[in-house]
């Protein structure tokens, strides 16, 4: 156990040691980091979330995109009406609003499952 007579000097000493250690680690990481020249073709390509760039040349519409287009088109008036009448900016009103909206969606899902089981 080390007994320190001057806590201020000990704090300064520990802070300087931590600074030196941090500087040393920074220099090691900087030295080991691979150099990227930026002159290759990869650095000039657009980032598409890991997809190959030729994905833009194939026009296609995803099924989920069609679903959301229908939902936005058909339920826009319902949603807007609920927002204007129910949502006041008060937190508990927002909770009531979200609960009501989720219950409506749950009922629609139950009805859809019931109808699909009859078919």
pLDDT digit string, tens, across residues 69-106: 777 788 888 778 777 776 677 888 878 878 988 999 99
**Could you give the CA distance from residue 74 to residue 80 in angstroms, rounded to a whole number?**
11
Give the residue extent of every domain in the chain: 87-119
pLDDT of residue 24: 96
Span 1-23, pLDDT tens digits: 567 788 888 888 899 999 999 99
Rounded Cα distance, 64 and 70, in Å = 10
pLDDT in tens, 25-75: 999 999 988 776 555 555 566 666 666 666 666 666 666 667 777 777 888
Are the CB atoms for 100 and 82 separated by under 8 Å? yes
Q: Report how far residue 38's alpha carbon sits from residue 36's, in angstroms, rounded to the nearest whole number.
A: 6
Is 86 exposed, middle or buried, given 0-12, 13-18 or 19+ CB atoms closer than 10 A? middle
């Amino acid at each position: 156990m080390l007994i320190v007579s001057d806590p201020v000097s000990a704090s300064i000493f520990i802070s300087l040691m931590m600074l030196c250690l941090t500087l040393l680690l920074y220099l090691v990481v900087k030295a080991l980091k691979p150099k990227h020249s930026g002159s290759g073709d990869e650095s000039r390509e657009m980032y598409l979330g890991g997809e190959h760039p030729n994905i833009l040349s194939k026009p296609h519409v995803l099924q989920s995109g069609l679903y959301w287009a229908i939902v936005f088109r058909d339920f826009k008036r319902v949603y807007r009406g609920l927002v204007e009448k129910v949502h006041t900016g008060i937190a508990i009103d927002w909770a009531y609003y979200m609960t009501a909206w989720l219950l409506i969606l749950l009922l629609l899902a139950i009805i859809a499952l019931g109808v699909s089981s009859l078919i």
